[in-house]
Chain A
């Protein structure tokens, strides 16, 4: 199960809407081993494409160095699908390289309603998991 604060869900969805019709992508880092997504890091989609995303290679190195220095790991790796459902594509599955991450997919195909779903992708096998959104205390 992915447990994630409402504020972070809103940031992911806002990023996906802002970059529509291109795919948006990014990471939420958290302390290594905590499974707690904390630090929102939107990334540039170097492919600038409605059907593909890829972190720029220089940005990727900076991101992983920074996480390493802070004792973090990518707890969530998110990207959007802008014309299809929020389910990992064959390409997503083939390229998934973080077996410990929650792969979050957002679909922006509907202008009014988004889909927000989370998956584990390990050794080519996709497993959907429940998402528990933690609402702010009022």
Chain B
């Protein structure tokens, strides 16, 4: 399958230190804007634990320096870098997507 960079909107649309959900080719993707080190991450919006579209509403943090998001429903945490489940219990990992910022817009690389 081919991959393509898709424009998901202007940087100013993405609240700082928070997640925002975008719709890309029918997919729900959570995008996280961490302005402190100018970092952006994108992961699936679906929490694999209870299968709800909520990860964009989770708290951002880090586990031993590794950035993570914590699901608002049951506090499962996932690495924003590689999608690995990093809290206790047996929960699947999540999919991550490459993000880049160009000319004031945010782009995600997804399969088309």
- The answer to whether A and B assemble together is no
- B: residues with CB less than 8 A from A are none
